[in-house]
Amino acid sequence: MVSKHQYDEHLASNRYFDRGFGVEAAKILPGEYFVSSQGGLLVTVLGSCVAACIRDGDAGVGGMNHFMLPDDGGRETVGTSARYGTYAMEVLINQLLKMGAR
């Protein structure tokens, strides 16, 4: 897959069939996100990181991100790493909106 946008590189690519739940699953690692309009399971493991899940039940879309820090502490002029919550939340919300979420 050729990345069209910078945020595409943060899309979770670890997908598998979860035999325990009997559904397709996506494992979201730090700095990644996943958005879908299909039913399924979103999986992550948290330590000191944060994950945010957002779902629009009316539009039938939802997603999750996984980030490590709230922001880059002012070190970069534009923090475009999904490791940072400010960017990770923007990416997640924008992708949900593109899929019809309100």
Cα–chain center distance at 67:
9
> Which of 41, 49, 51, 97 does the annotation list as catalytic?
49
Q: Which amino acid is at 31?
A: G
Assess whether 49 carries a catalytic annotation: yes
- What is the bridge-based pairing of β-strands 14-18 and 32-36? unpaired
- Tokens matching residue 84: 């940072």
- Bridge partners of 42, per DSSP, are 26
CA angle 93, 74, 77 (to 5 degrees): 70
DSSP label of 92: H
What are the residue numbers of the active site?
A: 49
